[in-house]
Amino acid sequence: MPTLARVRRMRVSCGLVAVLAVAALSACTDGSDSTSEGRPQSPTASSAPADPATPQVSGNGTDRPAAARPGTAKQALTALIAAEAAIADPSTRPKELVRAARVQQLVYRELGARPAWDAAVLAGLPRSLRGVVRDNVAARREFRAMHGVLADTLPAWRIVAPAPAEELLRDYRRGERAFGIGWEYLAAINLVESGMGRIRGTSVAGAEGPMQFLPRTWARWGRGDVQDPADAIMAAARYLAHDGGAKPSRLDDALFRYNNSDHYVRGVTLLAKVMERRPRAFYGYYHWDVYYLTARGDVRLPVGYERDKPVPVEHWLATHPQR
């Protein structure tokens, strides 16, 4: 039976892997010097999106999602085909692009939790989308697998608007030119670590900034401000290159050194490969919201969320219903 959970087999590290991920989008960088066995890796960079303009669009006026989750496989299929088409089309208007990205995100999160829908969704997809959907769903499942016990509180974070998309693309390209790390991998790490800079806060491991550097790692590889996207992205490229990431055969090992989890390596690689094949996929990911996975399920943290100490999930949901 066809499945969306098609993921390459990769060797597992011989050491104990400390999984530090606590948020739906955010996984803490582990800057340790742990070693891992070699893992096969395919080629890196492709051209960045040719279409220059992705707008800065604020929220939809409320802190509720701009779309509802699908309730059936058929709804997921219909919504996903439309969303992927809108994201791929350079003529899509700004607000429509934001909505398509948020629909796409919710569908992938739902599919990640519902393997029973795989066959129906895969069978209904155009052939051109099957690989894209497989990889996005597989990535979601990899990141979900990094979670152990789910929290009953929301984090002491601040959620802000990200830097403009074109500024981030410029920074990723600079990192690629300087150190040979594909811009798609830098974008995928930025997405996974901090929602492309939306999350401001220190991780449970003490990592900071849009690329989530531990202080000791930043002291060695960083230049400038750990909170500055350009500085942090360049530091990530520098760090990955030092660990051999500019060589396709060693990129997986470099990613594992960045965050000691095979799930993380596979998830980041899957997202990067989607962007390699479809550069405009970046514009979808750019507009994804921050969701925090709790014991009560996904909770959306909108731009403007700001707490200086953890908040019980039930207290937040009482005044911020999810749909």
- Residue 280 lies inside a defined structural domain of this protein: yes
- Residue 85 lies inside a defined structural domain of this protein: yes
- Residue 58 lies inside a defined structural domain of this protein: no
> Beta strand pairing status for 290-294 and 297-301?
antiparallel
Dihedral in degrees, nearest 10, Cα atoms 283, 202, 159, 171: -30
Predicted local confidence at residue 205, as pLDDT? 77
- Residue 68 lies inside a defined structural domain of this protein: no
- Residue 93 lies inside a defined structural domain of this protein: yes
The domain of 210 spans: 73-319
- Residue 43 lies inside a defined structural domain of this protein: no
pLDDT tens, position by position, 214-268: 999 999 999 999 999 999 999 999 999 999 999 999 999 999 999 999 999 999 9
- Residue 55 lies inside a defined structural domain of this protein: no
Distances 205 to 22, 166, 202, 218 between C-alpha atoms, Å: 10, 30, 8, 14
How many domains does the structure of the chain reveal? 1
Query: From first to last of its 323 residues, what are the pLDDT tens digits of the chain?
Result: 444 543 333 333 322 222 223 343 333 344 443 323 233 333 333 455 654 344 333 333 345 566 789 999 999 999 999 999 999 999 999 999 999 999 999 999 999 999 999 999 999 999 999 999 999 999 999 999 998 889 999 999 999 999 999 999 999 999 999 999 999 999 999 999 999 999 998 777 788 999 999 999 999 999 999 999 999 999 999 999 999 999 999 999 999 999 999 999 999 999 999 999 999 999 999 999 999 999 999 999 999 999 999 999 999 999 988 86
Predicted local confidence at residue 211, as pLDDT? 96
- Residue 47 lies inside a defined structural domain of this protein: no
Predicted local confidence at residue 49, as pLDDT? 67
